[in-house]
Chain A
Amino acid sequence: MSLLEVCDITKIFGGLVALNEVDFTVEKGSVVGLIGPNGAGKTTVFNCITGNYVPESGDILFRGKSIRGKKPHKVVELGIARTFQAIRLFGKLSVLENVLAGRHCRLKSGLLSSLFHTPAQRREEEAAVERCLEELHFVGLDRVWQEEAGSLAYGSQRLLEIARALASDPELLILDEPAGGMNDQETASLVDVIAAIRERGTTVLLIEHDMRLVMKICEKLVVLEHGNVIAKGDPETVKTNPDVIEAYLGTDDGDDEEY
């Protein structure tokens, strides 16, 4: 059984068929890349997985169970955490508190124990802070834990979103253009972070425009064009697929990272 099975999902906006029977799987422990030209429907696939959209037809199975139509916070609880294409940090809150947001769903303290500041609540808080600092350390942002998230450099903000997602103990991490807006040095350290995430045993599904990055870290690619899957398989095979070359690599020489 695959960790994630996207089964023939179709998503329609008004008259526009954004996804047309999209079908692929993500195996446990792998790093899978979802690629395709702008507007192909990649982010829409992510939004269907995370429960932000409900596909018109088809199903999404996570660990063999359907998660179609579940609310986004439920999906996170089940073990799928995400980052956003357009960074969505809590800009005015501290770096640490952003990561604590990801930890939220693993904590138990309710209204009463919070109001009365019970010893159990305090212990849980301390453990949560420690765990979140570890995640910050993991992506290399522990030294700026007190800063406002919005004041960080763009590349650091992307890493912070990853740390926030990791804090929820995800089994599957989905990253929407994690290298978007990063310079070469930042991209290089992102590659390290993704490799380390994989070493932790977390499965990764990512959307990426930077073909060098994709070829380097993904063992499987799914290529979307106009809402259709036009190819899937290992990077070498996909790279030489004529449809892919025409649809995607043809218009973008593969080393260009403007988008």
Chain B
Amino acid sequence: MSFNARTIRLGSCMALGLVLAVLPFLVNNYWTDVCVSIGLYALLALSLNVILGQAGIFHMGHAAFYAVGAYTTAILNTMFQWPIFWTMPLAGCAAGLVALVVARPIIHLRGDYLLIVTIGIVEIVRIALVNDIFGITGGSNGIFGISRPTVAGFRIVKSFHFYYLVWGMCGLSLLLFHFLWNSRVGRALNYIKADDIAAEGCGVDVSHYKLMAFVLGAFWAGMAGTLYSAKMLTIAPASFNFMESVIIFAVVILSGGSQLGVLVSAFLFIGLPELMRGLTESRMLFFGLAMMLMMVWRPQGLLPPLPRVYTKARAVLDRMAAHDSDAKPSTTQEKTL
């Protein structure tokens, strides 16, 4: 049963990967661009999933860190002529640093309170950008003239270049976050989500791990910001408003918390409204309705993570059983309740 579910998931992952690998050859530029946009949302949602899906921290301000990353790249590139990719680690660090500073005093807050404060973060960042803070953000017009990124002399210009860049980054994130999920750190986040008092009582430093998830997610959102700047060439505060945060948040909630779920959910949220372009006015209605249906029909989300696999456990148990039957042949079976 669970073996089957696992096989199906793995199969779907590979099928999705295959489709994504050849997609730009099958569709026109317009749809390639849509998929770039979906990829950026997927990247943001994957990073928010660490915070919201894994650690259960109700953070609705992810667009703020996206903005910090995008502006870091834009400023370094237009004012100091840094190559785009060089700015990427710095964009991540800037976003992570902002996250660390703002989250430290609030991270202990419980769900609903934290939600409200994180909404505040987006607004503060947006207003700071609009007011041309330090005179380097360009006010509400934003920054233009960002240059094209180059990799080893190759200029990334066309839609399908960006497509592979963004989805390559998604693939890498998927892998790293999968490793993270399968580790002591990933488990710690899950313990905290399930019951923070029990987690602390077992020896997990709850505020440390919450902060870690928050800063890591923000770092990733910052790097996504770099890609956004490179793609758009022009950025403005309006692109990082509260609605963006809500969409990223909704993608993660809808996903159920698995990474495959996040990808599917990003396609549904960003792709479907594009398919129904005539209805763009009623996009909000679509969101609302989809969320309501989900709550009723599948409250756990599209694809919750399957249980982790501990491949070595079986061998250890066999060894223990063998050892037992050597030592005291008659009592091994009686202990189990």
A interface residues, Cβ below 8 angstroms from B: 50, 52, 71-73, 76-77, 81-82, 84, 88-94, 96-97, 100-102, 104-105, 107, 109-111, 114-117, 121, 124-126, 128-130, 133-134, 137, 140-143, 145-146, 153, 155-156, 159, 164-165, 168, 185-186, 189
Contacts and interface: CB of A to CB of B under 8 A. Distances in A.
Contact of A130 (B186, B204, B316): B316
B184 A109 contact: yes
Interface in B291-316: 307-308, 310, 312-313, 316
Consensus secondary structure, chain A interface: helix
Contact of B186 (A82, A114, A146): A114
Nearest to A156: B337
Given A111-B216, A145-B313, 20 more contacts: A73-B204, A77-B203, A81-B203, A88-B201, A90-B191, A90-B194, A94-B308, A104-B184, A104-B188, A114-B180, A114-B183, A115-B180, A116-B176, A117-B179, A125-B183, A125-B184, A130-B316, A133-B320, A145-B317, A146-B307
B195 A186 contact: no
A88 B337 contact: no
B308 to A, nearest CB: 7
Interface residues on B, range: 35 or more
5 nearest A-B pairs in the assembled complex, by CB-CB distance: A105-B203, A76-B203, A114-B183, A140-B335, A88-B198
A102 B197 CA distance: 13
Given A94-B307, A125-B183, A101 B204 contact: yes
A108 to B, nearest CB: 9
A73 B203 contact: yes
Given A73-B204, A109-B185, A114-B180, A189 B337 contact: yes
A107 B102 CA distance: 29
A102 B185 contact: no
Contacts of B337: 140-141, 153, 155-156, 159, 185-186, 189
Interface in B171-230: 176-177, 179-180, 182-188, 190-191, 194-195, 197-206, 212, 216
Interface string B133-151: 0000000000000000000
Contacts of B336: 140-141, 143
A130 B307 CA distance: 18
Contacts, number: 132
A90 B317 contact: no
Given A88-B197, A88-B198, A189-B335, A102 B186 contact: no
Contact of A82 (B177, B201, B204, B212): B201
A109 B183 contact: yes
Given A71-B200, A88-B201, A89-B198, A114 B313 contact: no
A168 B316 contact: no
A156 B202 CA distance: 18
Contact of B194 (A93, A140, A164, A185): A93
A121 B191 CA distance: 19
